[in-house]
Amino acid sequence: MSRNNEVASVLEAYADLLEAQDVSYKPNTYRRAASNIRDHSAAVEELAAEGADEVQRIEGVGDAIASKVVEYVETGEIEELEAEREKLPVDIEQLTSVEGVGPKTVKKLYDALGVQTLDDLEEAARAGEIQEVEGFGPKTEQNILDHIGFARQAQERELLGNGRPIAEDVRSFLADLDAVERVAVAGSTRRWRETIGDVDVLVASDAGETVGEALTEWDRVDETLDLGPTKTSVRSNRVRIDLRVVVDEEFGAALQYFTGSKDHNVRVRNHAIDQGKKVNEYGVFDVRDVEDADSGQRVGERLASETEEAVYDALGLPLIPPELREDRGEVEAAASGDLPELIEEDDVRGDLHAHTEWSDGDLTVREMVEGAAEFGHDYVAITDHAEGPGVFGDSGLSDADLREQADEVAAAREETDIIVFHGVEANVDADGNVVEVSDDVLADLDVVVASPHSGLGEDGGDQTERLISAVEHPHVDILGHPSGRLINDRPAMEFDPEALAEAAADAGTALEINSNPHRLDLWGSVVQTAVEAGATIAVNTDAHSTSEYANVEYGVHTARRGWAEAGDVLNARDPEGVREFLDS
C-alpha cells in the first residue's frame, strides 16, 4: 500500500487555504493533482524517491506540485503550505467538514469573529454572532449549527478506504520482523466496517517490547502514544494504530476477541455460557466443574485458543466470517447450519457503472474498456452522466451526446475481447423521475443506472417514494448509490430499506453497492434487508479512472457484510446472464 491518500489530503488542504485567500485557478489545479495522485497505480513515495520528474508522470501534476510532493515525502511538510497556515491559522479540514462551510466562508468567519476551530464555530453560532456577519443570516447560521454534530461524529472515525491501506502496511511491516510469529489485522478494519476508530493489529510473539519498539521506529509513525510489552499505540497520518502482543498459543482466541464486534462477542459469550463454557481473549474453557468461573481469566479446562476455527468449533459453531460479526443473527445461523456462502472477490465478473472523459471521468472510452480487460473483467458498462441537477459542472450528456457516444462505444467493442455495454447514469429527481434523458434513448441503451444527485440534504425527509418510483421506471436497470451519502461528508437520505427492497425485487431492478470508499452505498444492514427480500444486488465501482476498478474489494466486502452470496449479485453472472437480466 502507498502514501497516495496521505499526500492527496495534504494537497487538498493546501488548495482549501489558497481558495480561502481568494487565489485564482491554483486551488482547482491542486485538487485535480490530488485526485490523480490518490487514484494513481504507483506509490507516490516511490516516484518521489526518484525525483520530481518521476512524480510528473502523474497526469495533472506539474513541476511546482511535483516539487512540493517530493518536499513533503522527504521532510513531512511543505514550506509554502506552512506559510499559508500562518496567514490563516485555522483548522481548514475540520471547519470545511461542516455542510455549507467552504474555504471562503472560513476566511470570512476568521476575519470577523476569529473562528479557528470547530469549537469556535459552534460557540459563535450558538451566540448568534454568525448571522451578524455580512453575507450571512439566521438561516445560514442555523444550517451551520445543525450540521456541526455530524461533522464532529465524522471526525471521530476514519474512512475504511484510508485506514485499510495503513492496516495492510503495518501488518506487512510487522510480518517481516524476526520476533513476530503471526500477525493479523483485527477490529472494525477486519470486519470491513465503512469507518474505523483506529487500526487494531494483533501479533504473536515472545518479545512484545522488541516488537513495540520496532513499531515506534517505523518511518511511517508520526507520534508514539504508548509503549509496553503487550500494547503499543502510535499515530500514522492521523490514524491511531493499536498493537497488541500475545503468546502464540492464544493467538486465535485473541484474534476472535479483538476482531469484535462487542455485540457479537457478547452473543458468543452467552452461547458459551449455555454450554457450561467460558470464552474470552485467552481461549475457550470448560468451567462446568469450576466453583467460581469468574475467579480468573484462564480458569477451567482450556478447550481451544490457537486458531479462530478451533475457538468457534469448541463452541459447536463453524467459523463465522469477520464481516458477519455484528450480532445480526449470525450466531443463531451458525448454530443451525444456515450461514450463507458469502460472495468472494473472484466471483465478480464485470463492472456495470463506469465513467469516461465524456462526462467527469479521466480517460477515453477505449482506455476504460482496456483497463477493465486488464483488471480481469469479462464485461464493463460505460455509464457516463446524463444532464441533470446535481451533476458535477456541465459534464452531463444530452440525448444527442449519448447517441454520438454510442459510435465510440461500438468501436471500443470491436477492439477488445470483453463485452462492452453502453449505458448512462441518469439523475433521479425529487419526485423519482428519471430526468434529462428521453425514453427512446433510454430504450436503446444496454443499461440504465438511475441515481439521486440532487435534493440530498437532511431537510428532504423520507425519500422512500422517490426511490421506489425510480426502481419501478420501466427502463431503469440499477438504482445507483441509493442514499446519496458521502461518508463523513454528507448524511444518507432517509428511506425505508424494506419497502425499497421489496419494490426492487418486484420490479426486477438491481440495487447498487457503490464500491467507492467515500460512498459504500448501500451498506451492510440494508444489503441484508435487500437480500432477504429477494432483490438483486449490483457491486459497482463507479470508476472514473482505471485504478478505481480495484475498489471492487470494498464493494464485495460490503456485500459480505450484507450476507450476500454470489447468486444475489448481478455482476457475479456471466455476460449472458447479465444480458438476460437487463433485457427482462
- Residue pointed to by grid coordinates 463452541: 315
Which top CATH class is 4-156?
mainly alpha
The fold of the 158-246 domain, in CATH, is Beta Polymerase; domain 2 (3.30.460)
Quick one: pLDDT band at residue 48, thresholds 50, 70, 90? very high
Per-domain residue ranges of the chain? 4-156, 158-246, 259-335, 345-583
Quick one: pLDDT band at residue 40, thresholds 50, 70, 90? confident
pLDDT in tens, 353-386: 999 999 988 899 999 999 999 999 999 999 999 9
pLDDT of res. 565: 98
- Closest listed residue to residue 468, CA positions, set 511, 422, 427, 437: 511
What is the mean predicted confidence (pLDDT) over 269-291?
95
Chain-wide mean pLDDT for the chain?
93
| Interatomic CA distance for residues 248 and 203, integer angstroms | 8
User: 259-335 has which CATH code?
Assistant: 3.30.210.10
| Interatomic CA distance for residues 569 and 322, integer angstroms | 20
Say if residue 211 is exposed, middle or buried (CB neighbours under 10 Å; 0-12, 13-18, 19+).
buried
| Interatomic CA distance for residues 510 and 569, integer angstroms | 9
Higher pLDDT, 537 or 494: 537
pLDDT in tens, 476-491: 999 999 999 999 888 8
| Interatomic CA distance for residues 229 and 564, integer angstroms | 41
DSSP string covering 51-104: -HHHHTTSTT--HHHHHHHHHHHHHSS-HHHHHHHHHS-S-HHHHTTSTT--HH
pLDDT exceeds 80 at position 207: yes
| Interatomic CA distance for residues 523 and 192, integer angstroms | 11
The fold of the 345-583 domain, in CATH, is TIM Barrel (3.20.20)
Whole-model pTM: value is 0.82
pLDDT in tens, 124-176: 999 999 999 999 999 999 989 988 987 887 677 889 998 999 999 999 999 99
pLDDT in tens, 423-474: 999 999 888 888 789 999 999 999 999 999 988 754 445 899 999 999 999 9
